[in-house]
Chain A
């Protein structure tokens, strides 16, 4: 009996002493499988247990404000939009992490999204680049297609693809809540209005109805009117259809390399003349109400440091924000994408940066533009209204 009591007490004390951190992130399925090894590496290194929970950012936006107001948190380290982290930091719900994150180790400007009055309230994990239009090398070889170097060549390429029998449209349009359409639109804005206009739109320094922005949209609308873009289709379904040859091109982020059967068959090109590329970093933060602040800081520093990011990029589909991650850590196809960032200006995602009601409106208005390109005036007017 006495021995039983001692054993029970030991088990109980171990259970009480062992700390389990909860990480909340958006990755499920194949993406989750690539993230779990990073957490495992942290567990092995520190002996701290980590539990991973999946929540979409859209759902967290509903859940977290109420939890934080009640001084509670469902996770110790949470991956979330940059604008949301800053919004919660302003309300005093986020822990400052300037002491564990060395800004110089990161790509220039990548931490701006989580910086407030010179202090860091979150850190950048790996990210995804939205480099341009993806194509299958085998598809291009089969139909003797070439990567365009000018806008005219790009339009000629689309016309050529359109005339291939059995093709639904030259470019697949991914839908869902609408973000895939916003990615391709941002690429047009960066190419035809320039990276500075892209930044000005985020800051609210320029109107959507301005001549410069309209010019970029008109380029996009000209393609929409000619039927070069397919009907908006759920983006994973569109991915399969594109891979099966229903479409010739697909504008998507670098995560596509981890979603296709043969990544070696992938090729990518940006719109001719593009001087910038959207780099969407995944941001993580520590809520003020975590029970284990020191352990959570250790985890955040590991994840966003070179070691954690190296584990992640090795899995494919991710690009490091930490400059100390060596290029040879990447699989070959991702290495090519990583090199693109060096040649172009890395820009933050427009709608992710603005966030709030604008983001939903932006996605929704683009869905309208895709099927009714003649309503460009209405779309730009609404976007200006929602930016206020």
Chain B
């Protein structure tokens, strides 16, 4: 117990406290709220003009948009794929192929996303051309850059929820389905009344993990667009990186780190509690 506690103190608690402390230090080493004011007032974080002009809207909203689109899509797609592939011959092979996106390093994933949406060689435009639609480099335009990254990351992350749901499906007793079938329940009714409620613990885990991943999203954005064009696809983690390693302003970077940590805790604590109640 003691060695574990020591490791946690050294590698988790001390760096966290140190980061919080640094976020309150101004350039002269004095305690102040200057960094918080600068970061929260910055157009990098929140740009209300974006509502009338178009992207960028600021990293805070970009992360929220990411969550709003990516979370429901990956969860529903993962569930649907897990249910469909459960009864398909060779389903396990297909699942492995889908899961490859998850196994791949996200840096590689970012490069692939970039080329997927490229105007000349991208697979997305290849498909569009079949339908006579002339495409463009979707990641190069402010109105489509963020959406391209989100949809690209859905492809990379769906494998994760699919695998977890597949494991969850195996834990539901077959008797439930047989009894429902004898009672004349339709497959749709069985799905909504048996499968979904019994998979709730898995859904909570998938939601927490996906949410955390979405909040700390960095690598795909860094490689595919570097947050551009004009900050249109910038996210909190990349903003933190820019402050720390480009501006060499560790105080402002720490503020973003604190915001990210607080958001993560805010999102995960209620979900973890509900998972505990389910148990």
Contact = CB atoms under 8 A, between A and B. Distances in A.
A375 B247 contact: no
Contacts of A178: 226, 228
Contacts of B242: 357, 360
B136 interface: yes
B137 interface: yes
B248 interface: yes
B119 A65 contact: no
Contact of A233 (B118, B141, B226): B118
Contact of A62 (B142, B232, B245): B245
B240 interface: no
A121 to B, nearest CB: 18
Interface stretch (A106-114, A271-279, A286-294, A363-371): A363-371
Contact of B137 (A87, A231, A372): A231
Given A364-B228, A365-B230, A372 B142 contact: yes
Nearest to B230: A368
Contacts of A62: 245
Nearest to B136: A231
B140 A231 contact: yes
Interface string B222-245: 000011111110000000001101
A359 B247 CA distance: 10
Q: Is the interface of A mostly helix, strand, loop or mixed?
A: helix
Interface in A337-388: 356-357, 359-360, 363-365, 367-372, 375, 378-379, 382, 385
B246 A364 contact: no
Interface residues of B, number: 25
B92 interface: no
Nearest to A230: B119
Interface string A301-314: 00000000000000
A177 interface: yes
Given A178-B226, A233-B118, A371 B142 contact: yes
Nearest to A367: B229
B230 A367 contact: yes
From A87, A231, A379, residue with most partner B Cβ within 10 Å: A231
A368 B231 CA distance: 9
Contact of B246 (A237, A357, A368, A379): A357
Nearest to B114: A234
A178 B139 CA distance: 13
A177 B226 contact: yes
A55 to B, nearest CB: 14
A353 to B, nearest CB: 15
B120 interface: yes
A368 B225 CA distance: 11
A175 B247 CA distance: 23
B230 A357 contact: no
A371 B141 contact: yes
Interface string A145-185: 00000000000000000000000000000010110000000
Interface in B174-232: 226-232
B53 interface: yes
Contacts of B43: 382, 385
B230 A375 contact: yes
A232 B230 contact: no
Interface in A70-129: 87
Given A232-B137, A233-B119, A378-B53, A367 B228 contact: yes
B246 A359 contact: yes
Contact of A379 (B140, B230, B232, B245): B230
Interface of A: 61-62, 65, 87, 175, 177-178, 231-234, 237, 241, 356-357, 359-360, 363-365, 367-372, 375, 378-379, 382, 385
Given A368-B229, A372-B142, A372-B229, 10 more contacts: A61-B246, A177-B226, A178-B228, A231-B136, A233-B119, A360-B246, A368-B142, A371-B229, A375-B53, A385-B43
List of 9 A-B pairs having minimum Cβ-Cβ separation, nearest first:
A368-B230, A367-B229, A357-B247, A368-B229, A364-B228, A357-B246, A367-B228, A62-B245, A371-B141
